[in-house]
Amino acid sequence: MASIIIGVVFVCLGASCAAIGSLLVHREIVAVNRKVSEGEQISLSFMYPGKMQKVKAEYKRLYPTGKVETWRVRLLVATFVFLALASRNLPRILQVKRNFVGLFGRFSKNPSILSAVEISRQLRILPKFPLTYFDGG
Supply the pTM of this predicted model: 0.62
SS (H, E, C) 70-90: HHHHHHHHHHHHHHHHHHHHC
| Per-residue pLDDT, 99 | 47
Domain boundaries, the chain: 2-93, 95-137
Q: Which of 21, 31, 20 is nearest to 61 (CA)?
A: 31
CA quadruple 100, 106, 109, 115: dihedral, nearest 10: -40
Write the pLDDT tens digit of every residue in 74-88.
999 999 999 888 887
DSSP label at residue 113: -
pLDDT, greater one: 79 or 47: 79
Taking the C-alpha atoms of residue 43 and residue 57, their distance in angstroms, rounded to an integer, is 15
Higher pLDDT, 115 or 86: 86
98 confidence band (pLDDT: 50, 70, 90): very low
What number of H helices and E strands is found in the chain? Answer: 6, 0
